[in-house]
Structure 1
Amino acid sequence: MKYEIVGDNLPVLKVKLANGESIITEGGGMSWMTPNLKMETTSRGGVGKALGRFFSGEKMFQNRYTCVDGVEGEIAIASSFPGSILAFDIEDGDIIAQKSAFLACEEGVDLSVQFQKKLSTGFFGGEGFIMQRLSGHGKAFIEIDGHCEIINLNPGEKIVISTGNLAAMDGTCDMEIKSVEGFKNMFLGGEGVFNTVVTGPGKVYLQGMPISGIADVIMANTTIKND
C-alpha cells in the first residue's frame, strides 16, 4: 500500500492498492475511487466490536475496499472537517485518539473503545469518558481539527492542555483532569474550569481548533445577531 495526503487544511488521503490489498474506512468515507475496487460492508468482529465503535463515536459498520482485476487501484478519503490527517505505524505502539477521529486503516489494525480510568477525566475533560484505541499492526489514519502540534514527552514530563485540544496520544501516556487553581481564575479567566494534563513518556498530538470551539463561536455570533 502506498499513500499520499494532499489538500493542506482541507486534506484528502489518497491510497494506492496493489491487487488483493484492502483498506478499511469509516462508512461514507470514500470520496472517489477507481472501478476495480470491490466494497464490502462489515462489522469487523461481530456485534460486540460494532457496538464498541458506536460508543467511541464511529459508525457501527465499516467498509472494506479490496483491489481486484490484477491491476493497481486508488481510493480517496476526504477529511470531514478542515484540519489535518495523521498517519501512524501501529506496530510502533497503540494510539489513543478522540472520539470520531478514525479515518481509515489497513486490515491488521483494530479499533476499540478506550475508557478513561478516572471518572473525573471522563466527565469533565473535553476529550470525554470514552476515546478510541488503535492497536494491532499496519497503517492507520486519523483526522483532527485544525493545525496539529506534536509534543514528545519524556518519562514523567507533563503538558497542560486546554479542554478539547487533545487530539491523540501514544498509548504509553497517562491523562488526567485538574481544576484551574483559584476561584477568580476559574470563572473570570476565560480558560474554563478544568485542564487536561498528560504525562509522558510518549508523543501528544494537539489540535489548534477543536470542532467544539468552532460551534461555540458560531453559536455566540448567532445569538448576537438574533438579539
Structure 2
Amino acid sequence: MEYEIIGGAFPLVKCKLKKGERMKDDSGSMAYMTPGIKMDTNTGGGLLKGLGRALAGDTLFMNFFTAQRDGEEVGFASYFPGKIIPIRLDGSQSIIGQKSSFLATEDSVEIDMYFKKKLGAGLFGGEGFILQKFSGKGMVFLEIDGDVIEKTLAPGETLLVDNGHVAALDETVDFDIQRVKGVKNMMFGGEGLFFAKMTGPGRVWIQTMPVSKLAEAIIPYIPKPE
C-alpha cells in the first residue's frame, strides 16, 4: 500500500492499493474510491467488538475497502480541520489514541478499547476513561484536532499536558494526573484542576486545538433565540 496525505488544514489521505490489499475506516470517513474497490460494511469482528469501539468513541460498524486489481485508490478525509498523522506499527508496539482519533488503517491492524490503568487519570485526564488501542502490523492514520507536536520522552522524563491536548501516545508511556499547584492557579488560571502527566519512555502526540475547546470559544458568538 502506498499513501499520500494532501489538503493542508483540511487533510485527506489517499491510499493506492495492490490487488487483494484491504483498508478499513471509521464509518463515514471515505471521501472517494475508484471503481475497482469493493466496499463491505460490518462490525469488524462481531457485535461485542463493534460495541467496544462505540464505547471508545467510534461507530458500531466499520467499512472495509478491498482492491480488486492493482492501482486502485481510496481516500479518507478528516472530519475536522487539523492533521492526519501516519504511524507504522511493526508488531512490537501499540499506540493509544484519544476517542474519535481513528481515521483509517490497514486491515492487519487491530483496534480495541483501552482502559486507563489509573482511575484518577481516567476521571480527570481530559479524555475519558476509555481510549483506543491500535496494535499489530501495518499503517494507522489518526486525525488530530488542529496542528500536532510530537515529543519523544526518555525513560523517567515527564511532560505535563493541558486536559484535552493529548492526542495519542505509545503504550509504554505512563499516563497519570497531577493537580495544579496553588489555589489561585486552580481558581483563576483557566487550566482546570489537573494536568495530564506523561512519563517516558515513548512518544506523545499533542494536538493544538481540541474540538471541545473550539466549541467553547464559538458558543458565546452563537445568536441566542429571542
Tell me the TM-score range normalised by the shorter chain. Answer: over 0.9
- Runs of 4+ residues deviating >3 angstroms: none
Shift, 1:221, TM fit: 2.9
Give the SS at the match of 1:90.
strand
**Structure-2 separation of matches of 1:165 and 1:28:** 24
Residue identity opposite 1:89 in structure 2: R
The aligned residue for residue 148 of structure 2 is 148
Cα distance in 2 for partners of 1:175, 1:71 equals 42
* Residue 226 of structure 1, CA deviation: 7.5
Residue pairs, 1:6-155, within 5 angstroms: 6-68=6-68, 70-91=69-90, 93-155=93-155
Give me the whole-angstrom Cα distance separating, in 1, the residues matched to 2:62 and 2:113.
15
Map residues 144-223 of structure 1 onto 2, 5 A cutoff.
144-222=144-222
Paired residues, number:
225
Cα distance in 2 for residues equivalent to 1:42 and 1:222: 38
Render the CA deviation track for 1:128-161: whole Å, top value 9, x for unaligned. 1111100111111110101100011000000000
CA-CA distance at 1:8 after TM superposition: 1.1
- Gaps of at least 5 residues in structure 1 are none
TM-score (norm: length of structure 1): 0.95
CA separation in 2, counterparts of 1:100 and 1:222?
25
Aligned equivalents of 1:90, 1:47: Cα separation in 2: 26
Q: Secondary structure at the match of 2:155?
A: coil
User: Matched residues, percent identical?
Assistant: 44
Instruction: Summarize deviations over 1:22-57 as a string: whole Å, max 9, x none.
Output: 101111111111111000112121112111101110
What is the alpha-carbon distance in structure 2 between the residues aligned to residue 200 and residue 217 of structure 1? 32
CA distance in 1 between partners of 2:21 and 2:48 (Å) = 26
SS in 1 for 2:222: helix
Query: Which amino acid is 2:77 matched to?
Result: A
Equivalent position amino acid for 1:191 in 2:
E
AA in 2 matched with 1:138: G
Distance 2:95 2:83 in 1: 16
Pick which of 151-160 and 111-120 moved more: 111-120
- TM-score (ref. length: structure 2): 0.96
Which whole-Å CA distance do the structure 2 matches of 1:217 and 1:18 have between them?
44
Which range is displaced more, 21-30 or 94-103? 21-30
Q: Which moved more, 1:95-104 or 1:111-120?
A: 111-120
Q: What are the Cα deviations for residues 66-93 of structure 1, in whole angstroms up to 9, with x where unaligned? A: 111x342001110000011011111151
Unaligned runs of 5+ in 2: none
Q: What root-mean-square deviation, in Å, do the aligned CA atoms of Structure 1 and Structure 2 show?
A: 1.4
Change (3 A) 1:71 1:152: closer
